[in-house]
Amino acid sequence: MLIDLQQPLRNIYGEPELCEDQLTPVTLAALCLSMLLAPDPAASTDAALTGPQKLARMLLAQRIAEAPPGGLDLKLDDLHLLKDLVSLHPYPLVVGRLLAVLEV
């Protein structure tokens, strides 16, 4: 499925959210990368991610980071992983905006 993650995260008013520099918009890709490359917030030390799981996340993050303009063709497994990780994010706006794009 072709998904454009380079689009900006939009606030509740539909305006692009900006990074701390107040110049650069936060992209959906940047949010996905941060979730893929962060330690698993749902895992305890007993249920840590395995090496192959970490590698799969890193490879997906690399594909997102290197995606050409216009979108990235994501496999069903990639979409499920992103949806699961997005659902763990603490901010409802981020969850809602990302899930809307990933549900296409």
Distance CA 54, CA 36 (A): 9
54: in domain: yes
11: in domain: yes
Domain that holds residue 98: 2-40+50-102
29: in domain: yes
Residue numbers of the chain with a pLDDT score lower than 70 = 41-47, 104
pLDDT at position 69:
85
| pTM, 2 dp | 0.85
Structure-block tokens of residue 87? 């659902």
Return the exposure string of 11-31: e unless at least 16 CB atoms fall within 10 Å of the residue's CB, then b: eeeeeebeeeeeeeebbbbbb
Give the pLDDT confidence of 34-46 residue by residue, as tens digits: 999 988 766 655 5
The closest alpha carbon to 87, from 41, 29, 47, belongs to 41
pLDDT at position 27:
92
How many residues can be counted in the chain?
A: 104
